[in-house]
Chains A and B, each alone.
Chain A
Amino acid sequence: MSVQTAMEANLAMCHDCGLLVHLPHGDDHDDDHPDGACPRCGSHLHMRKPYSLQRTWALVIGAFILFLPANLLPIMKVTTLGRGEASTIMEGVMHLLHGGMWPLALVVFVASIFVPLMKMIAIVYLLVSVQRGSAWRPGERTRMYRLTEILGRWSMVDIYVVTILAALVHAGALAQVDAEPGAIFFGATVVVTMIAAESFDPRLIWDRCGVKHG
């Protein structure tokens, strides 16, 4: 059987219901006007996600910008015995480390700093490699994309920790935890990187290297 992509056969798979549909207009993948609607579920059809590279670039740059205040501003304030202390994500990690809870410090560091940063770097790398027409290890790059998609959500951990502590510890001057502005930027970073990963089309990785890898 000859190896061929759906695009070469003028076929597009519907993103929502998975139906393979014949598109008479062929390759229109950078066009925001969709090639029509899926006959089964009614969603827009396109050969590739529209403006995938542009949208992903915009979102990943936005995520980088949001990531700065997310890390520089405090995300929560802990008040014990009348003394308040606001801490950033990294200060929270260091606090856990000094308290001897290094496995937990590692979890928070990985989820809140390492994963978002790696995710943004991975997306930028994928964008650059696609734009340069790289044919290098498409399988590994696809796996990297899949991993990026799966891991991104775990960054929400710190937001939940702030939420839980703030809801539980409200004994006034004795002990009180409040959310701080950094948490908003951090939440926004997580959401924007999730949308960035979603707007990238992994099929672009393979478009640039033919079908001989079958």
Chain B
Amino acid sequence: MGSPVDHDSPSRLVACHECDLLARVPALPPGGVARCPRCNGILARAPAKSFERTAALGFAALTLLVVSNLFPFLTLDISGTLSDMTIIQGARTLWDGDYKLLAGLVFGTTVLAPLAHIVLLLWIVVPLWMNRIPWAGRKVLRWLDVIRPWSMAEVFMLGVLVSMVKLADLADIIPGIALWSFVALIPVLTASLVTLDNDLAWRRIAPEIPVP
């Protein structure tokens, strides 16, 4: 056990992230998943056509995110007086109300983190898809892992639903283009995570390192 073998070898030794069990992962078929025999955590996944699909989803997500931020999210009609908001205005209101930390948290989790997540993802998968090595790929792949938990588009969407119901008896609410685009963004973002083959990306970016 533990002797390094050629990195092209499809079977490899891994330690389970959850319980640290050493296990040899066999060659996985496209779309295959290997689970830990002890704790059932995921040991390895091999999504089919990973880079091509992730790139497509990444571009779709980028388009949807831009639309979500440029157009009004919700419009409120209080007896004829209209007021609307974009996502960024939400954070802006908190900032102006002197809740700067909170504004930063909201801006970071709903705009900055999703944007950084999508851009870094494309940075990695587009060159790999074209059989090139992404520039600074090691740093970018590491950052992707750091950013991921802070991208909270789906939680924001639940907040939107709760707000809409709360406002329902106060005023008429008109959902904007941004809202629909945001609704579409959530499954696209989730799918882009599922299609990314992290192991394969690492093996391509650092081919000189032997994989045990």
A8 nearest in chain B by CB position: B22
Q: Are A154 and B101 touching (Cβ within 8 A)?
A: no
Interface residue from B40, B73, B138, B162 paired with A107 (Cβ < 8 Å): B162
The answer to whether residues A163 and B90 also contact, given A170-B83, A171-B78, A184-B101 and a CB cut-off of 8 A, is yes
In the complex, per-residue mask of A133-144: 1 if CB is within 8 Å of any chain B CB, else 0: 000001100110
Q: Are B18 and A202 touching (Cβ within 8 A)?
A: yes
Q: Closest CB-CB distance, B156 to chain A, in whole Å?
A: 5
Q: Closest CB-CB distance, B67 to chain A, in whole Å?
A: 18
Number of residues of chain A lying within 8 A (CB) of chain B: 70
Q: Are B90 and A167 touching (Cβ within 8 A)?
A: yes
B74: chain A residues at CB < 8 Å are 164, 168
A47 nearest in chain B by CB position: B20
A55 within 8 A of B: no
B194 within 8 A of A: no
B115 within 8 A of A: no
Complex alpha-carbon distance, A19 and B139, angstroms? 15
B37: chain A residues at CB < 8 Å are 214
Complex alpha-carbon distance, A39 and B74, angstroms? 49
A3 nearest in chain B by CB position: B21
Q: Are A111 and B102 touching (Cβ within 8 A)?
A: no
Q: Are B83 and A171 touching (Cβ within 8 A)?
A: yes
Q: Closest CB-CB distance, A86 to chain B, in whole Å?
A: 14
B14: chain A residues at CB < 8 Å are 13, 18, 20
The answer to whether residues A168 and B85 also contact, given A142-B39, A163-B91 and a CB cut-off of 8 A, is yes
A178: chain B residues at CB < 8 Å are 97
A85: chain B residues at CB < 8 Å are none
A125: chain B residues at CB < 8 Å are none
Among A11, A168, A211, A214, max chain B CB count under 10 A is at A168
B94 within 8 A of A: yes
Binds A, one of B47-55, B56-64, B126-134, B141-149: B141-149
B159 within 8 A of A: yes
A9 within 8 A of B: yes
B155 within 8 A of A: yes
B122 within 8 A of A: no
A206 within 8 A of B: yes
The answer to whether residues A160 and B160 also contact, given A6-B22, A12-B15 and a CB cut-off of 8 A, is yes
The answer to whether residues A187 and B41 also contact, given A5-B15, A108-B162 and a CB cut-off of 8 A, is no
B20: chain A residues at CB < 8 Å are 5-7, 13, 203, 206-207
Q: Are B105 and A191 touching (Cβ within 8 A)?
A: yes
B169: chain A residues at CB < 8 Å are 99
Interface residue from B22, B101, B158 paired with A5 (Cβ < 8 Å): B22
Q: Closest CB-CB distance, B198 to chain A, in whole Å?
A: 7
Interface residues of A (CB under 8 A from B): 1, 3-7, 9, 11-13, 16-20, 22, 39-43, 80, 96, 99, 101, 104, 107-108, 111, 138-139, 142-143, 145-146, 153-154, 156-161, 163-171, 174-175, 178-179, 183-184, 187, 191, 194, 198, 202-203, 205-207, 211, 213-214
Interface residues of B (CB under 8 A from A): 1-2, 13-15, 17-22, 24, 37-41, 73-74, 76, 78, 81, 83-85, 89-94, 97, 99, 101-102, 105-106, 109-110, 138, 141-142, 145, 149, 152, 155-156, 158-160, 162-163, 165-167, 169-171, 198-199, 202, 206, 209, 211-212
Task: List 4 extra interface pairs beyond A41-B206, A154-B155, CB under 8 A.
Answer: A4-B1, A107-B162, A168-B84, A169-B167
A-B contact pairs, 19 of them (CB 8 A): A17-B138, A20-B15, A20-B211, A41-B141, A42-B142, A138-B39, A153-B152, A159-B102, A160-B155, A164-B85, A164-B159, A164-B160, A166-B93, A167-B92, A174-B78, A179-B102, A202-B19, A206-B39, A213-B38
In the A-B complex, the 6 residue pairs with the closest CB atoms: A160-B159, A6-B15, A206-B19, A13-B15, A203-B20, A167-B85
